[in-house]
Structure 1
Amino acid sequence: MLKHLLASAIFTALCGAAMAETLEVPLVWLRHAEPERPVLSNLDPIPEDRGRAGAELGLADNLTTGKFLGQDYSLEIIEIAAEDDPLPDARAALGRSSFVVLDAPAATLLAIADLPEAQGAVLFNASSSDMSLRGADCRANLLHTKTSFAMQTDALMQFAQAKRWTDLVMITGNAPEDADFAAALTASAIKFGLEIAQTKPWIFDADMRRNAAQEVPLFTQDLADHDLLLVADVANDFARYIAYNAWEPRPIAGSEGLRPVSWAPVVEQWGAAQLHSRFSDLASRDMTPRDYAAWAAVRAVGEAVTRTNSADPATLRAYLLSDAFELAGFKGRPLSFRSWNGQLRQPIPLVTRAALVAQAPLEGFLHQRTELDTLGIDQPETTCTAFD
Structure 2
Amino acid sequence: MVFRALRIALVFAAALAGTARAEDQPAASPAAPTAAPSGQIAIVYLALTVKRSFPESYLDQPPADEGLAGASVALADNNTTGRFTGQEFTLEPVSAPDEAGVIAAFRDRLGKGARAFVTDVPAPLLLKLADLQEARTATLIDATDSDDMLRAEGCRRNVLHVLPSRAMLADALMQYLVVKNWRRVMLLSGQTEADKRYAEAMRRAAKKFQIKIVADKAWTFNPAEQRADTGHFEVNTEVANITQGVDYDLLVVADEEDNFGDELGYRATLARPVAGTQGLVATAWTRVYDETGATQLQNRFLRAAHRWMTERDYGAWMAVRAFGEAAIRTHSSDPAVIGAYLRSPKFELAAFKGERLSFRAWDGQLRQPVLLADPRSLVSISPQPGFLHEFFETDTLGVDQPESTCHLN
| Map of 1:261 onto structure 2 | 283
Answering whether residue 247 of structure 2 is matched by residue 225 of structure 1, we say yes
| Map of 1:8 onto structure 2 | none
**CA–CA separation in structure 1 for the residues paired with 2:310 and 2:54:** 20
Deviations 1:277-320 (A, max 9, x none): 00011100111111111110111111111111112233222211
1:40 and 1:208 in contact (8 A); partners too = no
Decide which of 310, 313, 326 is 1:291's aligned counterpart.
Answer: 313
TM-score by length of 2: 0.88
Which deviates the most, 79-88 or 224-233? 79-88
1:29 and 1:77 in contact (8 A); partners too = yes
Q: CA deviation at 1:35?
A: 5.5
2:52 and 2:62 in contact (8 A); partners too = no
1:56-75 equivalence runs, <5 A: 56-75=72-91
Q: CA deviation at 1:22?
A: 2.2
Q: CA deviation at 1:220?
A: 1.8
**CA–CA separation in structure 2 for the residues paired with 1:67 and 1:85:** 35
1:59 and 1:75 in contact (8 A); partners too = yes
Decide which of 194, 216, 222 is 2:211's aligned counterpart.
Answer: 194
Change (3 A) 1:38 1:159: closer
| Map of 1:352 onto structure 2 | 374
Q: CA deviation at 1:372?
A: 0.4
What is the aligned-residue identity percentage? 45
| Map of 1:11 onto structure 2 | none
In angstroms, what is the RMSD of aligned CA positions? 1.6
Decide which of 25, 41, 46 is 2:41's aligned counterpart.
Answer: 25
Change (3 A) 1:263 1:282: same
**CA–CA separation in structure 1 for the residues paired with 2:54 and 2:349:** 37
**Which secondary structure state, in structure 2, belongs to the residue aligned with residue 86 of structure 1?**
helix
Answering whether residue 64 of structure 2 is matched by residue 48 of structure 1, we say yes
| Map of 1:312 onto structure 2 | 334
Q: CA deviation at 1:89?
A: 0.5
1:160 and 1:166 in contact (8 A); partners too = yes
1:167 and 1:228 in contact (8 A); partners too = yes
Letter in 1 for 2:396: T
Letter in 2 for 1:264: T
**Which secondary structure state, in structure 1, belongs to the residue aligned with residue 40 of structure 2?**
strand
Decide which of 130, 154, 172 is 1:137's aligned counterpart.
Answer: 154
Decide which of 170, 174, 178 is 1:153's aligned counterpart.
Answer: 170
Letter in 1 for 2:81: T
**Which secondary structure state, in structure 2, belongs to the residue aligned with residue 189 of structure 1?**
helix
Letter in 2 for 1:186: R
**CA–CA separation in structure 2 for the residues paired with 1:77 and 1:119:** 21
- For the pair shown, which has the larger CA radius of gyration, 1 or 2? 2
**Which secondary structure state, in structure 2, belongs to the residue aligned with residue 155 of structure 1?**
helix
2:185 and 2:214 in contact (8 A); partners too = yes
| Map of 1:10 onto structure 2 | none
| Map of 2:324 onto structure 1 | 302
1:167-246 equivalence runs, <5 A: 167-205=184-222, 206-208=224-226, 210-211=231-232, 212-222=235-245, 224-246=246-268
Letter in 2 for 1:40: E
1:34 and 1:104 in contact (8 A); partners too = no
**CA–CA separation in structure 2 for the residues paired with 1:82 and 1:197:** 42
| Map of 2:344 onto structure 1 | 322
Deviations 1:104-149 (A, max 9, x none): 1101100111112210011011111111100001000000012100
Q: CA deviation at 1:37?
A: 6.1
Letter in 1 for 2:367: R
2:184 and 2:249 in contact (8 A); partners too = yes
1:32 and 1:108 in contact (8 A); partners too = no
2:38 and 2:333 in contact (8 A); partners too = no
Deviations 1:227-277 (A, max 9, x none): 111000011210000011111111110011110000001110101011000
**CA–CA separation in structure 1 for the residues paired with 2:336 and 2:365:** 18
| Map of 2:106 onto structure 1 | 90
Deviations 1:149-206 (A, max 9, x none): 0010000000001111111111100000000000000000111111112111001114
Runs (5+) with no aligned partner, structure 2: 1-32
**CA–CA separation in structure 2 for the residues paired with 1:49 and 1:158:** 34
TM-score by length of 1: 0.92
**Which secondary structure state, in structure 2, belongs to the residue aligned with residue 325 of structure 1?**
coil
